[in-house]
A and B are shown apart, each in its own frame.
Chain A
Amino acid sequence: MGNLIGSRIPPIDSLEKVTGTAVYTSDIDLPGQVYLKLVTSPYAHAKIEDVDYRKALDVPGVVAVFTGKNFPYRFGIYVGDRDMLAIDKALWSGHPVAAVAAESWEAAERAAELIDVEYEELPAVFDVEEAVGPKAPVVHEKLGEYRVFPGLFKPVPGTNMANTFRLRKGNVEKGFEKADIVVRENDFFVPFASHGYMETQNAIALYRVDGTYEIWTSTQSPFAVRNLIALSLGIPMHKIVVHHTYTGGGFGGKAGIGWEPLPMMISKKLRRPVKLVLSRAEQFRSAPLTASFKANARMGMTKDGRIVAYEARFLFDCGAFADYTVNVARTAGYMCGGPYDIDDVFCETIAVYTNKAPTTAFRGFGHPENHFVLELMMEKAAKALGMDPVEFRLKNLLKPGISTTCTGTKLRKDAGRPDIALERAAKAIGWSEEPAEPVEPWKVRAKGIAVLVKGPSQPPNAAASAMVKFNEDATIDVIVGTGNMGQGTVTSLAMIAADAFGIPLEKVRVSPFRSTDSMAYTWQTVGSRGLFTDGQALMKAIEDAKDQIKDVAAQALRVSKEDLEVADGKVFMVGKPWINLKLEDVVMGYMYENGNSIGGPIIGRGHHIATQCTILDPETGQGSPTIFYTFGATGVEIEIDVLTGEVKILRASQAYDIGKAINPLLVEGQAIGGFVMGMSRTLFEELRFDERGNMMNPNFSTYYMVRTKEAPDDIRVELIETPQHDGPHGARGLGENVMVAVAPAIISAINRALGTNIKRLPATRENIVKTIEGQNPDLLERAMRALRLGR
């Protein structure tokens, strides 16, 4: 073994990225390509009577116009409800109803402006509670006909219920009987939000005369794209080749299937390459967002601070497509109790269709939502008990090897330590000390903290594979399927391979390109699973390669295979290192002096599949849903200007038990980036709709994401390394966990500072002032008085 594991190494693709020479899908042009432009519905719910595109066809350079009638197919990963162009009716304001193919963007756009669509407006439903009621307009009349992932989801035809999931652990009513104190809270709210990845969705497709489709796409999941296209269109998988390259951010929004089928189907009709790139406005209005969320909860505790019962009800507003969000909602439900050991738990979580923009996965996958509720309930409970919030949490955290999770499985011994994460996060922000007095009399300070747990939410059989392919000079191509959207997994995988063979990192390459016909399979790059699953597959591939090397070397050196070890770029005899062969002399086969040869090119292979996951019980939601849990905690110290509502993050802490930090530099990058994304969603981000369902702020000026000006300076990352024995070098995943606890940490700090009870996101400056006006007018009055006396 080398000494790479645990080193701070810059991402292996840094040079390409910093020079702009890294090739993203949107950078790819194919000779003879046509450009696609979408025409979208201005109505939230409308029957499409007629699409008149005669004028559009007269625009020079226009090749063809397509509508939903051309492509009567639906796609999706869990509930196949997505069409590419509206079939029969438009389901939201922004729903693409036609696509123009032209020789240039300019011609396509000019033609798109000339398309006349005749609509018959239908009653629309925007409110999620109204949508589950009996009189609501039905968004998907043919819900019963859609393809659904077997065993996991049950949409109810004739309603807007895309899925309902119930978790029952113990008996929650009996649990509440044991409680001395019960706290309850209604109307938690998280708004529609955009992933805000910088590279908008795009895809280029090429249909070949032999019936093969090639698709380049900005995706997290080339294999899932292939699978889902094949399932919906009935094309054999080897005839679909999905290519993935550098992806300009994903955050869940490029998981599952995207727009790939549209250019693909059009390419077949036109026999030309077809390129689709969404503009930012289209990305906001027409592409999947993250669902809006409403919740109520109730928590019961004994006087000594033990939680005995927890009940939560979640409504996810999935917009017009619930495809992936049904699983977000389900996951929020089965993980509703988070990192706490509670005997009696009930949760009902419903995924609901409305006539708003469609939704999909978003970093955190239901956990930012359920932890927002849970951790604010913990604050309320601690207050009711008169206990310190950290102490109260410590008392109730899951204990590895002892406690059972919400889904009724015993937490494994090596699952990691939530208690240490909490203590380290608290210490890093000086939890035990009162914040210093702010300089200005109208400012207040406070601290807040929240704990979290999250594991990948994936089907129980999700698999991964990897190959280690040696070249003549003993350099290595590591072949994996995991995607590259900046999360750093490929760097860690390269480090693992280099370390295992004791060769310099420069001798290992992980191509930025993935093609489903030549790369190792992995289900998807989602759920913080990449390093864990593909890493394990790689560890096995390394062992396999070493085994093959030893076979050849044992024969060549005339020693027993068991006595051989591979390290430092050599295969050698343990205890007699002078008996060795350089890897170069083995990996393409070994040639004796007389030319006789043995062995052959070494390709190590390995795979990973979850072996202990189960499909959750349909009645109780009990079972084993995931392959690991990563525990962590976020702490903040904030300062608020009471008069303007401006929140400054004075310091923040991010503590995670990640098993092993393969590359702390990149781990810190995730933790810091996740904090700021979480902070941005907590304080700024909300997509707003008018009364007709039109998105009011589909741009970066009015959908404000944090910029350098607001970026906190002091974010401390605390890494705890309790190894998980089946993780690569003991590592667990982290990419999503980093934003799960941010919102509750910041909001509880705000509430503590202001004496308010904020439970809706975002806490914009305006919303904060409004809340103080309503809930603590005295504080505001005092601050105003201080301002008036300020001279």
Chain B
Amino acid sequence: MSSPYFTLPEFRYTKPKTIEEVVKVLDEYGENARILAGGIGLISFMKERLLSPQVVIDIKGIPELRRIEYVEGNGLHIGAAVTIAELQGFLGERVEIGNKYRALSEALPQISDSLIRNRSTLIGNICEALPYMDGYPPLIAFDAKLHSVSVKGEREIPVAEFMKGLAETELKTDEFITHVTVPEPPEGAVSGFTKFSSHSEFSATAIAALIRWSERRDERIARISYGSVSDTPILLQEAGEIFRGEGSIDSMIDRVVETALSEINIISDLYATADYRRRLIEVLTRRLLVRLFKEVIG
């Protein structure tokens, strides 16, 4: 968490022009090669001597990875080298798309600070894989998929299943993430994001929710995701069932809160105690859901 060092360990810097070249280096060096996009996580980890790769692969020279695109019906495609600021700009300028992915639009300006966001990438945020990474909850709420590639081929990993533990991910040492796809949200769905910190820069609790409300119960959808409250970000699986069940909206919100508090393994750390996180989970969940329901049914 804190390094006495000014300088970085030695490594070889390379800036390939194609994904194939990246894959080749990864195949050769495995965990001794690391991807550099925004560099925020990698440079920090190297300063702290948590990582000392032999090769650092700068992927910013690969045009495909800088792609950011929305295709009606397919959703959002965000390349691994797209900075958060660029993504903010993209969603900000296209109001309709920004609204469609509201939870993401709301989360982005709350990730780190504006100067860091001029470098850092959403995929970097995900790959850093620390519990308080704010990129997770909105991507999980939208059921986003990461796309990785290695010499063996390509595969797709749901963001919800990507983080395995502290700085541990599903990613093999010979593969890397090229982009993330965020599917088209269900017709009529609304979403939002909220977070709160106590006495550190990092979130003590972060929540993203996507809700589709309908008079027909089987058409209702609820995806609620929590970050910063447990070892890994969590999708509250039960939320959908709760909203498809019986009862008033108020009682459903009550049950979501109860379930979140009982099902999540809430941690205590430097940024907040478990007790305080419990309070925040309840307060923030209610505030967010109330806001979203106001939107859908007034």
Output the least CB separation between A762 and chain B (Å): 7
| A113-B283 contact, Cβ under 8 Å, with A105-B6, A279-B5, A766-B272 | no
**Set of chain A residues within 8 Å of B202, measured between Cβ atoms:** 701-702
Q: How far, in Å, is A734 (CB) from chain B's closest CB?
A: 29
Task: Tell me how far the C-beta of A112 lies from the nearest C-beta in chain B, rounded to whole angstroms.
Answer: 8
Q: Given the interface contacts A764-B199, A765-B198, does A702 sit within 8 Å of B1 by beta carbon?
A: yes
| Cα(A790)–Cα(B288), bound, Å | 11
Determine whether the beta carbon of B249 is less than 8 Å from that of A791: yes
Measured in the bound complex, the distance between the Cα atoms of B200 and A697 in whole Å is 9
- Residue pair B4, A704 in contact (C-beta under 8 Å): no
CB distance from B151 to the nearest CB of A (A): 34
CB-nearest residue of chain B relative to A788? B286
**Is A105 in contact with B7, judged by CB distance below 8 angstroms?**
yes
Compute how far the CA of A644 lies from the CA of B204 in the bound complex, rounded to whole angstroms. 11
CB <8 Å contact, A702 and B200: yes
Query: Are A643 and B279 in contact (CB-based, < 8 A)?
Result: yes
Does B13 reach chain A (CB closer than 8 Å)?
Answer: no
Question: By the criterion CB–CB under 8 Å, are A109 and B7 in contact?
Answer: yes
Q: Which chain B residues border A66 with CB–CB below 8 Å?
A: none
**Residue interface bits A339-379, CB-to-B below 8 A is 1, else 0:** 00000000000000000000000000000000000000000
Interface residues of A in 649-705 (CB under 8 A from B): 684, 686, 688, 696-702, 704
- CB <8 Å contact, B3 and A701: no
Say whether A281 faces chain B, with CB atoms less than 8 Å apart.
yes
Known: A686-B199, A702-B201. A770 touches B275 (CB 8 A): yes
**Interface contact B2-A284, CB-CB below 8 Å:** yes
Q: Across the interface, do B275 and A109 meet the contact criterion of CB distance under 8 Å?
A: no
A106 at the interface (CB under 8 A from B): yes
A704 & B200 in contact (Cβ 8 Å cutoff) = yes
Q: Is A645 part of the contact surface with B, judged by Cβ < 8 Å?
A: yes
Contact with A along B184-225 (1 / 0, CB 8 A): 000000000000111111101000000000000000000000
Given contacts A105-B7, A686-B199, contact A702 B250 (CB under 8 A): no
Chain B residues lying within 8 Å of A37, measured Cβ to Cβ, are 4
Q: Mark B76-92, 1 if CB is under 8 A from A, else 0.
A: 00000000000000000
Is the CB of A282 closer than 8 A to any CB of chain B?
A: yes
User: B294 contacts the other chain (Cβ, under 8 Å)?
Assistant: yes
In-complex Cβ contact of A769 among B1, B201, B276, B286 (8 A): B276
Q: Is the CB of A762 within 8 A of B199?
A: yes
Picked from B201, B204, B283, B293, the residue with its CB within 8 Å of the CB of A787 is: B283
User: Does B280 count as interface, using CB distance less than 8 angstroms?
Assistant: yes
Q: In chain A between 107 and 128, which residues have their CB closer than 8 angstroms to a CB of chain B?
A: 109, 112-113
Q: Could you give, for residues 615-648 of chain A, a 1 whenever the CB lies within 8 Å of some chain B CB and a 0 otherwise?
A: 0000000000000000000000000000111100
Partner of B201, one of A277, A696, A701, A766: A701
| Any B CB within 8 A of the CB of A276 | no
Count, chain A residues at interface, CB 8 A: 41
Q: How far is the CA of A765 from the CA of B272 in the complex (A)?
A: 10
Contacts of A762 in B (CB 8 A): 199
- B270 close to A688 (CB less than 8 A): yes
Minimal Cβ-Cβ distance residue in B for A104: B7
Q: With A702-B270, A791-B250 in contact, do A766 and B283 touch (Cβ < 8 Å)?
A: no
Q: Indicate whether A491 reaches chain B with its CB closer than 8 angstroms.
A: no
Q: Are B279 and A769 in contact (CB under 8 A)?
A: yes
CB distance from B92 to the nearest CB of A (A): 19
B1 contact from A38, A686, A699, A704, Cβ within 8 A:
A699
- Contact residues in A for B1 (Cβ distance below 8 Å): 697-699, 701-702
In the bound complex, how far is the Cα of B2 from the Cα of A105, in angstroms? 18
Q: Contact at A645–B198, with CB atoms within 8 Å?
A: yes
A40 at the interface (CB under 8 A from B): yes
Chain B residues within 8 Å of A105, by CB = 6-7
Q: Which residue of A lies closest to B1 (CB)?
A: A699
Nearest CB to that of A789 among chain B residues?
B250
Fill in one digit per residue for B47-68: 1 if any A CB lies within 8 Å of its CB, else 0.
0010000000000000000000
Residue interface bits A34-48, CB-to-B below 8 A is 1, else 0: 000110100000000
Assess whether B4 is in contact with A38, with CB atoms less than 8 Å apart: yes
B residues 1-35 in Cβ contact with A at 8 Å:
1-7
- Chain B residues contacting A784 (CB-CB under 8 Å) are 282
Selected from B49, B198, B250, B254, the residue in CB contact (under 8 A) with A764 is: B198
B237 within 8 A of A: no
Point out the residue from A38, A765, A790 that lies within 8 Å of B199, measured CB to CB.
A765
8 Å CB contacts to B: which residues of A696-730?
A: 696-702, 704
Contact A704 B2 (CB under 8 A): no
- A172 CB to closest chain B CB (Å) equals 38
Query: Complex: how many Å from CA A494 to CA B200?
Result: 41
Partner pick for A766 among B250, B273, B290, CB 8 A cutoff: B273
Q: Point out the residues of chain B lying under 8 angstroms from A40, CB to CB.
A: 4
Checking B200, B272, B282, B286 against A701 with a beta-carbon cut-off of 8 angstroms, the contacting residue is B200
Q: Tell me whether B201 and A700 are in contact (CB under 8 A).
A: yes
B271 is an interface residue with CB less than 8 A from chain A: yes
Task: Judge whether B172 is part of the interface by a CB distance below 8 angstroms.
Answer: no
A40 to B3 CA separation, bound complex (whole angstroms): 12
Q: Given the complex, which residues of A lie within 8 Å of B3, measured CB to CB?
A: 279, 281
Whether A787 touches B287, Cβ cut-off 8 Å, given contacts A702-B202, A704-B199, is yes
> Using Cβ atoms and an 8 Å threshold, which residues of chain A touch B254?
788
Q: Is there contact, CB below 8 Å, between A790 and B290?
A: yes
- Counting chain A CB atoms within 10 Å of each CB, the highest count among B204, B273, B283 belongs to B283
Asked whether A791 and B293 contact (CB < 8 A) given A684-B199, A702-B200, the answer is yes
Partner of A106, one of B7, B273, B293: B7
A549-589 vs B, CB cutoff 8 Å, 1 = contact: the mask equals 00000000000000000000000000000000000000000
Alpha-carbon distance between A590 and B2 when the two chains are bound, in angstroms: 65
Residues of B within 8 A of A769 (CB): 276, 279
Question: Chain B's nearest CB lies how many Å from the CB of A612?
Answer: 45
With known contacts A643-B279, A688-B270, A788-B286, A282–B199 Cβ distance under 8 A: no
Which chain A residues lie closer than 8 Å to B2 at the CB level?
Answer: 280-281, 284-285, 698-699
CA distance A684 to B199 in the complex (A): 5
Chain B residues in 8 Å Cβ range of A644: 196, 279-280, 283
CA distance A699 to B44 in the complex (A): 12
Q: In the complex, which residues 237-291 of chain B have their Cβ closer than 8 Å to any Cβ of chain A?
A: 249-250, 253-254, 270-273, 275-276, 279-280, 282-283, 286-287, 290
Residue of A nearest to B272 (CB): A766
Q: Cβ of B293: which chain A residues have Cβ within 8 Å of it?
A: 791
Bound complex: CA A281 to CA B2 (Å): 6
Separation of A766 and B2 alpha carbons in the complex (Å): 23
**Chain A residues in 8 Å Cβ range of B196:** 644, 646, 765
- State A765–B294 Cα separation when bound (angstroms): 28
Among A109, A698, A700, A770, contact of B276 (Cβ-Cβ < 8 Å)? A770
Complex CA distance for A702 and B200, rounded to whole angstroms = 4
Min CB gap A106→B, angstroms: 4
Within 8 A of A (CB), among B110-127: none
Set of chain B residues within 8 Å of A766, measured between Cβ atoms: 198-199, 204, 272-273, 276
**Bitwise interface map of A from 753 to 783 toward B, beta carbon under 8 Å scored 1, else 0:** 0000000001011100110000000000000
B-side contacts of A765, CB under 8 Å: 196-199, 276
Task: Tell me the complex Cα distance, A644–B254, Å.
Answer: 18
Please name all residues of chain A whose beta carbon is closer than 8 Å to the beta carbon of B250 when the two chains form the complex. Answer: 788, 791
Q: Is the CB of B283 within 8 A of A279?
A: no
A505 to chain B, nearest CB (A): 36
Residues of A within 8 A of B280 (CB): 644
A690 to chain B, nearest CB (A): 10
The docked-state distance in angstroms from the alpha carbon of A280 to that of B3 is: 8
CA distance A686 to B282 in the complex (A): 27
Which 3 A-B pairs rank lowest in CB-CB distance, beginning with the nearest? A764-B199, A281-B2, A766-B198
Can you pick out 7 interface pairs between chain A and chain B where the beta carbons lie within 8 Å of each other? A106-B7, A109-B5, A643-B283, A704-B199, A762-B199, A769-B276, A791-B290
Add 17 more A-B contacts to A38-B4, A787-B287 (CB < 8 A). A37-B4, A109-B5, A109-B6, A109-B7, A284-B2, A643-B283, A645-B198, A688-B270, A697-B1, A697-B270, A765-B198, A765-B199, A766-B198, A766-B199, A769-B276, A790-B287, A791-B249
